[in-house]
């Protein structure tokens, strides 16, 4: 954090604090110390669940071979839609759930090579990204196999590479790694996916993390996950595509940008789509953030950014696409990134890569 913040100041670009992100102190050293303290708290408390993916070289090779072009094309868009009848507890009808725990604000800058952050008032409910900037490399599609009552089927979500100690972390939604009480298998991340092309390769998940609340109860308030990706050709993910910033315990009702690869009609998963506007609070059932956005299934897990710079394509991830209400299809909702989401991120970024 110290090196990143110092380089931002040297380049004269918009700093984290100038971009409106809350930090625990006004200097990088204090932010770094806060990060260390947050790591200790995250490791001390049982706030996440994790399991192995393809954690050997042989398994990773098998998973890459599994994802042929035909399997990628056949992957069905994975989504999470809530109806009015079950929208009574923010956890698919299991009773009123606790809100995310709020702690000290914490933010890490992007390491994309295009670090300048921005401030914007753009409004769009869904448009194709023109294919430039850091977001075109760091965002991608997440593919996996779902155990559908004993029948395997392929599915897709979205995700993004983020700044991390191990330079190997992808953030996505909890339901993109576990749903119906079953963990997904053959999980891969394809950054920069564009009309079927895989310009930066196929990256295999070695370990997956989600909140305890999602893992146990599929609580919408905690629908966030992280995956640690195996190196590819001897290089770590962030060293190849860069990493977006990430922030927790930030103010609500800010300008945000949402990205994803919607694959259900009228989209087909071939292009990166984005929405932009001022976030609102969900007043129906959850403690989530909401955004006017017409993205469809397959966009789940795509990043929501604060301080996004359209010129450089860099920003700070502060939520992910999670769910829609079937009676409000033009609004997307994403979880508030509090202490539980921070614990997932910290646990993942401090894992060794395999």
C-alpha torsion 292→297→302→304, nearest 10: 10
CA–centroid distance for 129 within its chain: 18
* pLDDT tens readout for residues 256-275: 999 999 999 999 999 999 99
C-alpha torsion 173→178→179→180, nearest 10: -160
Domain containing 223 equals: 2-349
Q: Is residue 354 a part of any domain in this protein?
A: no
**Spatial separation of the C-alpha atoms in residues 22 and 190, rounded to whole Å:** 31
Q: Is residue 156 a part of any domain in this protein?
A: yes
22: which residues sit within 8 A by CB, 6+ positions away? 105, 107, 249, 250, 251
pLDDT class for 85, splitting at 50, 70, 90?
Answer: low
Report which of 326, 331, 173 is spatially closest to residue 256, judged by C-alpha positions.
331
Q: What is the tally of structural domains in the chain? A: 1
Instruction: Please give the pLDDT value at position 15.
Output: 72
Across the strands, what pairs with 303?
A: 320
pLDDT class for 64, splitting at 50, 70, 90?
Answer: very high
Q: Is residue 162 a part of any domain in this protein?
A: yes
27: which residues sit within 8 A by CB, 6+ positions away? none
Question: What is the model's pTM?
Answer: 0.89
* pLDDT tens readout for residues 297-353: 999 999 999 999 999 999 999 999 999 999 988 999 999 999 999 999 999 999 988
274: CATH: 2.40.10.120
The DSSP symbol for 84 reads G
């Amino acid at each position: 954090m110290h090196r990143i913040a110092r380089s931002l100041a040297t380049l004269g670009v918009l700093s984290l604090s100038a971009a409106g992100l809350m930090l625990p102190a006004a200097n990088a050293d204090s932010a770094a110390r806060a990060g260390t303290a947050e790591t200790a708290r995250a490791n001390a408390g049982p706030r996440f669940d994790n399991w192995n993916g393809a954690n050997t070289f042989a398994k990773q090779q098998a998973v890459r071979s599994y994802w042929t072009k035909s399997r990628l094309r056949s992957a069905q868009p994975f989504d999470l839609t809530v109806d009015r009848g079950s929208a009574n507890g923010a956890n698919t009808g299991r009773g009123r759930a606790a809100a995310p725990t709020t702690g000290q604000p914490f933010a890490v800058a992007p390491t994309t090579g295009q670090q300048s952050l921005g401030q914007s008032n753009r409004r769009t409910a869904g448009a194709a990204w023109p294919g430039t900037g850091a977001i075109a490399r760091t965002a991608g599609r997440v593919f996996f196999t779902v155990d559908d009552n004993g029948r395997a089927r392929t599915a897709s979500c979205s995700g993004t590479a983020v700044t991390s100690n191990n330079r190997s972390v992808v953030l996505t939604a909890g339901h993109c790694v576990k749903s119906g009480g079953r963990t997904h298998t053959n999980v891969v991340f394809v950054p920069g996916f564009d009309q079927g092309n895989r310009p930066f390769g196929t990256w295999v998940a070695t370990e997956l993390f989600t909140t305890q609340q999602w893992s146990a109860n599929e609580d919408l308030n905690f629908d966030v996950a992280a995956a640690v990706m195996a190196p590819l050709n001897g290089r770590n993910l962030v060293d190849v595509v860069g990493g977006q910033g990430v922030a927790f315990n930030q103010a609500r009702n800010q300008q945000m940008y949402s990205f994803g690869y919607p694959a259900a009609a009228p989209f087909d998963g071939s292009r990166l789509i984005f929405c932009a506007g001022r976030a609102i609070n969900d007043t129906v059932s959850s403690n989530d953030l909401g955004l006017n956005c017409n993205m469809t299934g397959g966009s789940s897990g795509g990043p929501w950014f604060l301080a996004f710079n359209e010129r450089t394509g860099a920003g700070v991830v502060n939520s992910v696409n999670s769910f829609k209400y079937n009676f409000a299809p033009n609004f997307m909702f994403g979880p508030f990134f509090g202490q539980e989401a921070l614990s997932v991120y910290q646990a993942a970024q401090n894992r060794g890569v395999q």
